[in-house]
Structure 1
Amino acid sequence: MSRIRGRNTGPEIRLRSLLHRAGFRFRLHVKDLPGKPDIVLPRYHTAIFVHGCFWHRHAGCRNTTMPSTRTEFWQKKFDGNVERDRCNRVALEGAGWTVITVWECDLKADALRIVNRLSSEIRKTT
Protein backbone atom coordinates (compact mmCIF):
# COMPACT_ATOMS: atom_id res chain seq x y z
CA MET A 1 0.00 0.00 0.00
CA SER A 2 2.98 2.33 0.37
CA ARG A 3 3.18 2.65 -3.41
CA ILE A 4 -0.38 3.87 -3.79
CA ARG A 5 -0.30 7.55 -4.54
CA GLY A 6 -2.75 9.99 -3.08
CA ARG A 7 -1.87 12.81 -5.46
CA ASN A 8 -1.14 13.23 -9.13
CA THR A 9 -2.79 9.96 -10.09
CA GLY A 10 -3.44 9.14 -13.73
CA PRO A 11 -7.17 10.00 -13.64
CA GLU A 12 -6.44 13.23 -11.78
CA ILE A 13 -3.81 14.35 -14.29
CA ARG A 14 -6.13 13.51 -17.18
CA LEU A 15 -8.98 15.57 -15.70
CA ARG A 16 -6.65 18.49 -14.97
CA SER A 17 -5.45 18.47 -18.55
CA LEU A 18 -8.98 18.46 -19.93
CA LEU A 19 -10.11 21.23 -17.58
CA HIS A 20 -7.11 23.35 -18.48
CA ARG A 21 -7.84 22.92 -22.19
CA ALA A 22 -11.43 23.96 -21.50
CA GLY A 23 -10.13 27.25 -20.09
CA PHE A 24 -10.34 26.61 -16.36
CA ARG A 25 -7.52 27.69 -14.08
CA PHE A 26 -7.21 25.95 -10.76
CA ARG A 27 -5.13 25.15 -7.71
CA LEU A 28 -4.13 21.68 -6.57
CA HIS A 29 -4.45 19.99 -3.18
CA VAL A 30 -5.29 23.11 -1.17
CA LYS A 31 -4.30 22.30 2.39
CA ASP A 32 -6.57 24.95 3.92
CA LEU A 33 -9.72 23.14 2.78
CA PRO A 34 -11.20 20.02 4.38
CA GLY A 35 -9.99 16.88 2.61
CA LYS A 36 -7.42 18.75 0.50
CA PRO A 37 -9.49 18.62 -2.71
CA ASP A 38 -7.63 17.37 -5.78
CA ILE A 39 -8.66 20.38 -7.86
CA VAL A 40 -9.90 23.73 -6.55
CA LEU A 41 -11.41 26.40 -8.76
CA PRO A 42 -11.30 29.47 -6.49
CA ARG A 43 -13.05 31.71 -9.05
CA TYR A 44 -16.09 29.43 -9.02
CA HIS A 45 -15.79 28.42 -5.36
CA THR A 46 -15.74 24.78 -6.46
CA ALA A 47 -13.79 21.80 -5.14
CA ILE A 48 -13.35 18.65 -7.21
CA PHE A 49 -12.39 15.25 -5.83
CA VAL A 50 -11.17 12.56 -8.23
CA HIS A 51 -11.98 9.27 -6.51
CA GLY A 52 -10.76 5.80 -7.36
CA CYS A 53 -13.66 3.36 -7.40
CA PHE A 54 -11.84 0.70 -5.37
CA TRP A 55 -10.68 2.92 -2.50
CA HIS A 56 -13.73 5.17 -2.23
CA ARG A 57 -16.37 2.48 -2.90
CA HIS A 58 -18.22 3.71 -5.97
CA ALA A 59 -21.68 2.20 -5.56
CA GLY A 60 -22.62 -0.21 -8.32
CA CYS A 61 -19.22 -0.09 -10.02
CA ARG A 62 -17.55 -3.31 -11.11
CA ASN A 63 -14.21 -1.96 -9.79
CA THR A 64 -15.57 -1.90 -6.24
CA THR A 65 -14.33 -5.34 -5.28
CA MET A 66 -13.49 -6.77 -1.89
CA PRO A 67 -10.14 -8.50 -1.39
CA SER A 68 -10.58 -12.16 -0.49
CA THR A 69 -8.12 -12.08 2.43
CA ARG A 70 -8.40 -10.02 5.60
CA THR A 71 -11.91 -8.88 4.69
CA GLU A 72 -12.57 -7.46 8.14
CA PHE A 73 -9.53 -5.17 7.86
CA TRP A 74 -10.47 -4.05 4.38
CA GLN A 75 -14.11 -3.42 5.26
CA LYS A 76 -13.06 -1.22 8.16
CA LYS A 77 -10.61 0.67 5.92
CA PHE A 78 -13.18 1.21 3.18
CA ASP A 79 -15.84 2.33 5.67
CA GLY A 80 -13.38 4.84 7.09
CA ASN A 81 -12.62 6.21 3.62
CA VAL A 82 -16.30 6.64 2.80
CA GLU A 83 -17.03 8.32 6.14
CA ARG A 84 -14.06 10.68 5.75
CA ASP A 85 -15.24 11.59 2.24
CA ARG A 86 -18.72 12.35 3.59
CA CYS A 87 -17.38 14.52 6.42
CA ASN A 88 -15.15 16.47 4.03
CA ARG A 89 -18.06 17.06 1.65
CA VAL A 90 -20.31 18.27 4.46
CA ALA A 91 -17.60 20.60 5.80
CA LEU A 92 -16.91 22.09 2.37
CA GLU A 93 -20.60 22.56 1.56
CA GLY A 94 -21.10 24.12 4.99
CA ALA A 95 -18.39 26.63 4.15
CA GLY A 96 -20.21 27.55 0.93
CA TRP A 97 -18.22 25.49 -1.55
CA THR A 98 -19.68 23.51 -4.43
CA VAL A 99 -18.30 19.96 -4.24
CA ILE A 100 -18.04 17.71 -7.28
CA THR A 101 -16.88 14.10 -7.21
CA VAL A 102 -15.50 12.54 -10.38
CA TRP A 103 -15.16 8.76 -10.37
CA GLU A 104 -12.24 7.01 -12.02
CA CYS A 105 -14.44 4.66 -14.08
CA ASP A 106 -16.55 7.53 -15.45
CA LEU A 107 -13.45 9.42 -16.47
CA LYS A 108 -12.11 6.37 -18.30
CA ALA A 109 -15.41 5.75 -20.07
CA ASP A 110 -16.10 9.21 -21.46
CA ALA A 111 -13.77 11.99 -20.34
CA LEU A 112 -15.11 14.66 -22.70
CA ARG A 113 -18.68 14.14 -21.51
CA ILE A 114 -17.47 14.48 -17.93
CA VAL A 115 -15.66 17.75 -18.69
CA ASN A 116 -18.72 19.15 -20.48
CA ARG A 117 -20.91 18.24 -17.50
CA LEU A 118 -18.39 19.77 -15.11
CA SER A 119 -18.19 22.93 -17.20
CA SER A 120 -21.93 23.45 -17.02
CA GLU A 121 -22.04 22.69 -13.27
CA ILE A 122 -19.09 24.95 -12.50
CA ARG A 123 -20.22 27.89 -14.59
CA LYS A 124 -23.75 27.85 -13.17
CA THR A 125 -22.35 28.50 -9.67
CA THR A 126 -21.37 32.06 -10.58
Structure 2
Amino acid sequence: MAAIALQAAHRVPKSRTGALDIGAATALKPLDPDVVSPAIPAFFIGHNRAGLWVAREAQGRAGGLFLLKSSAVEFANGRSAPARCALVFPAEAFELDVENQGNPLVALAARWLEGVTRHLARLAR
Protein backbone atom coordinates (compact mmCIF):
# COMPACT_ATOMS: atom_id res chain seq x y z
CA MET A 1 0.00 0.00 0.00
CA ALA A 2 1.46 3.35 -1.02
CA ALA A 3 1.80 6.23 1.40
CA ILE A 4 2.24 9.94 0.94
CA ALA A 5 5.58 11.12 2.35
CA LEU A 6 5.79 14.59 3.93
CA GLN A 7 8.58 16.34 5.76
CA ALA A 8 8.04 18.18 9.07
CA ALA A 9 10.59 20.17 11.03
CA HIS A 10 10.24 19.61 14.77
CA ARG A 11 13.04 20.99 16.90
CA VAL A 12 14.59 19.59 20.06
CA PRO A 13 14.84 22.33 22.72
CA LYS A 14 18.28 23.84 23.25
CA SER A 15 19.94 24.41 26.59
CA ARG A 16 21.13 27.85 27.74
CA THR A 17 24.49 27.14 26.13
CA GLY A 18 22.82 26.58 22.77
CA ALA A 19 23.57 22.85 22.72
CA LEU A 20 20.79 20.42 21.93
CA ASP A 21 19.05 19.09 25.03
CA ILE A 22 19.43 15.38 24.31
CA GLY A 23 17.16 14.43 27.22
CA ALA A 24 14.21 16.37 25.86
CA ALA A 25 11.60 14.66 23.74
CA THR A 26 10.39 16.58 20.74
CA ALA A 27 6.74 17.50 21.06
CA LEU A 28 4.80 16.34 18.03
CA LYS A 29 2.67 19.22 16.91
CA PRO A 30 -0.73 18.86 15.23
CA LEU A 31 -0.56 18.76 11.47
CA ASP A 32 -1.67 21.81 9.51
CA PRO A 33 -5.08 21.02 7.94
CA ASP A 34 -3.98 22.94 4.83
CA VAL A 35 -1.24 20.32 4.31
CA VAL A 36 -2.93 17.06 5.35
CA SER A 37 -6.66 16.41 5.31
CA PRO A 38 -8.19 15.29 8.62
CA ALA A 39 -9.81 12.47 6.59
CA ILE A 40 -6.38 10.99 5.82
CA PRO A 41 -4.72 9.13 8.70
CA ALA A 42 -1.24 10.51 9.37
CA PHE A 43 1.68 8.83 11.14
CA PHE A 44 4.92 10.30 12.46
CA ILE A 45 7.84 8.00 11.62
CA GLY A 46 11.27 8.67 13.09
CA HIS A 47 13.96 7.76 15.59
CA ASN A 48 13.85 8.07 19.35
CA ARG A 49 16.88 8.99 21.50
CA ALA A 50 17.97 5.34 21.60
CA GLY A 51 17.99 5.18 17.80
CA LEU A 52 14.96 2.89 17.52
CA TRP A 53 12.24 3.56 14.96
CA VAL A 54 8.99 5.05 16.28
CA ALA A 55 5.65 5.09 14.48
CA ARG A 56 2.93 7.22 16.09
CA GLU A 57 -0.49 8.09 14.72
CA ALA A 58 -0.88 11.87 14.65
CA GLN A 59 -3.94 11.79 16.95
CA GLY A 60 -2.21 9.47 19.45
CA ARG A 61 -4.52 6.51 18.83
CA ALA A 62 -1.74 4.06 17.95
CA GLY A 63 2.02 3.79 18.05
CA GLY A 64 4.90 1.42 18.35
CA LEU A 65 8.65 0.87 18.56
CA PHE A 66 10.51 -0.98 15.81
CA LEU A 67 14.02 -2.06 14.89
CA LEU A 68 13.60 -1.30 11.18
CA LYS A 69 12.17 1.70 9.34
CA SER A 70 10.29 -0.65 7.00
CA SER A 71 8.54 -2.22 10.03
CA ALA A 72 7.42 1.21 11.27
CA VAL A 73 6.07 2.11 7.81
CA GLU A 74 4.34 -1.28 7.52
CA PHE A 75 2.72 -0.70 10.94
CA ALA A 76 1.40 2.71 9.81
CA ASN A 77 0.06 1.33 6.55
CA GLY A 78 -1.55 -1.62 8.34
CA ARG A 79 -3.25 0.63 10.91
CA SER A 80 -4.71 2.86 8.20
CA ALA A 81 -5.82 0.04 5.83
CA PRO A 82 -7.71 -0.12 3.60
CA ALA A 83 -7.23 3.65 3.20
CA ARG A 84 -3.86 5.22 2.51
CA CYS A 85 -1.99 7.27 5.07
CA ALA A 86 0.35 10.24 5.17
CA LEU A 87 3.81 9.60 6.60
CA VAL A 88 5.50 12.52 8.36
CA PHE A 89 9.23 12.22 9.04
CA PRO A 90 10.19 14.76 11.76
CA ALA A 91 13.72 16.11 11.45
CA GLU A 92 14.47 15.50 15.14
CA ALA A 93 14.13 12.51 17.47
CA PHE A 94 10.89 11.97 19.36
CA GLU A 95 9.73 9.47 21.95
CA LEU A 96 6.73 7.16 21.83
CA ASP A 97 4.18 8.71 24.19
CA VAL A 98 1.41 6.13 23.76
CA GLU A 99 1.25 2.41 24.58
CA ASN A 100 3.66 0.38 22.45
CA GLN A 101 1.66 -1.63 19.93
CA GLY A 102 4.77 -2.46 17.94
CA ASN A 103 7.45 -5.04 18.58
CA PRO A 104 7.44 -5.95 22.30
CA LEU A 105 11.05 -7.20 22.13
CA VAL A 106 12.20 -3.84 20.80
CA ALA A 107 10.45 -2.13 23.72
CA LEU A 108 12.36 -4.40 26.13
CA ALA A 109 15.60 -3.60 24.33
CA ALA A 110 14.83 0.13 24.62
CA ARG A 111 14.38 -0.15 28.39
CA TRP A 112 17.61 -2.16 28.63
CA LEU A 113 19.49 0.45 26.57
CA GLU A 114 18.19 3.25 28.79
CA GLY A 115 19.39 1.39 31.88
CA VAL A 116 22.82 0.74 30.40
CA THR A 117 23.11 4.40 29.34
CA ARG A 118 22.24 5.59 32.86
CA HIS A 119 24.74 3.14 34.37
CA LEU A 120 27.53 4.27 32.01
CA ALA A 121 26.78 7.92 32.80
CA ARG A 122 27.16 7.19 36.54
CA LEU A 123 30.46 5.39 35.92
CA ALA A 124 31.77 8.33 33.88
CA ARG A 125 31.32 10.78 36.79
Compute the TM-score of the two structures, normalised by the length of structure 2. Answer: 0.28
Compute the TM-score of the two structures, normalised by the length of structure 1. Answer: 0.28
Bigger relative contact order (CA 8 A; separation at least 6): 2
Higher strand share: 2
